[in-house]
Amino acid sequence: MEYIYSALVLHAAGKNVDEESIANVLKGAGMEPDAARIKAVTASLEGINIEEAIASAAMAPVAAAPAAAAPAEAAKPAAQEEEKKPEVSEEEAAAGLSALFD
C-alpha cells in the first residue's frame, strides 16, 4: 500500500509519478524501497488518469453502502415475525391436520 500512497502523494503534489520519485518518497519515510514493487506500480499506472480513478473509487463505496445495509434491515423484520408466531404443540398440529380429512 505504501507504494500506492507514494504515487498518490506525488500526484497530489503535482509531481511526476515515476520510479525514482516513488523511491525518494519511500526513502524519505524511512523505508527501503523494493525496485520490483515500484516497477509494478508505475507499470500499473501507465495510461491511467489518476483523477478519474480517484473519482470513480470515491463513488463506488457510497453506492455500495446502502445496498449492503438493506439485507441487514430486511433480516430484522423476519426475525421479529418469528418471535411473534405462537408455538403450536404437536397435538394441536395433529388435530388441525385431522380436520382436513373429515
Taking only the tens place, the pLDDT of each residue in 11-63 is 999 999 999 999 999 999 999 999 999 999 999 999 888 888 888 887 765 55
The amino acid at residue 26 is: L
All three cell numbers of 96, joined, read: 388441525
Other CB atoms closer than 10 Å to residue 4's CB: what's the count? 13
pLDDT of residue 38: 94
Give the separation between CA 34 and CA 28, rounded to whole angstroms: 14
pLDDT of residue 33: 94
pLDDT of residue 91: 67
* CATH number attached to the domain at 2-48: 1.10.10.1410
Question: Residue written as cell 394441536?
Answer: 92
